[in-house]
Chains A and B, each alone.
Chain A
């Protein structure tokens, strides 16, 4: 079945850019998502991209999709301490229904 992988941890200085990476295995992934989870909270949808796009920008967030390498990244510009959280990527294969397959999450720690 589909597998989505992420690195476990990222440490970044406040004000710098963060880049969180994700790889997936099924080339028919149709939608790819980024969710944020703060301590004790649920999964907050940050942004998503369709597979027919290479890039999507939304304020401080930039999503890059490399379909050839099956690689997705999330760049957070001007990272703030409030960005400290776990970030999950997930994909959806439309032909396989609506279920999301999640990566294991990347814990981002923003240092002042």
Chain B
């Protein structure tokens, strides 16, 4: 059964460093998403991506964040200069009517 994969599973970084989280969506899906879950809080929508551009973004998704589909399979989330409050589990998802989620990347900013 096709699934969404994410790498790395865990990432520890210093405040101010750039991180890139990677995702491989399900191959025939056209819509891709990033969500995050800060410990103890709800899963929050960050951004959706369709046809090589951002289709929707939340107010969380500020200039520190960017997304890219660098090739036919990968979908990345870049955080330019990480802050302590960026520590969270980041989930990638793909699909339209139904969204299938990856296992997540746990990001810890020190």
Q: Which residues of A contact B (CB under 8 A)?
A: 31, 33, 35, 41-45, 48, 88, 90, 97-105
Distance of A97 Cα from B35 Cα, bound (Å):
15
Shortest beta-carbon contacts, A-B, top 9? A42-B103, A43-B101, A99-B45, A102-B43, A97-B56, A42-B101, A104-B42, A102-B42, A42-B104
Contact pattern, B 91-110, Cβ under 8 Å of A = 1, otherwise 0: 10100111111111000000
| Total A-B residue contacts, Cβ distance less than 8 Å | 52
Q: Which residues of B contact A (CB under 8 A)?
A: 4, 6, 31, 33, 35, 41-45, 48, 55-56, 58, 91, 93, 96-104
Chain B interface main SS type: strand
Query: Is A100's CB under 8 angstroms from B55's CB?
Result: no
Distance of A101 Cα from B58 Cα, bound (Å):
11
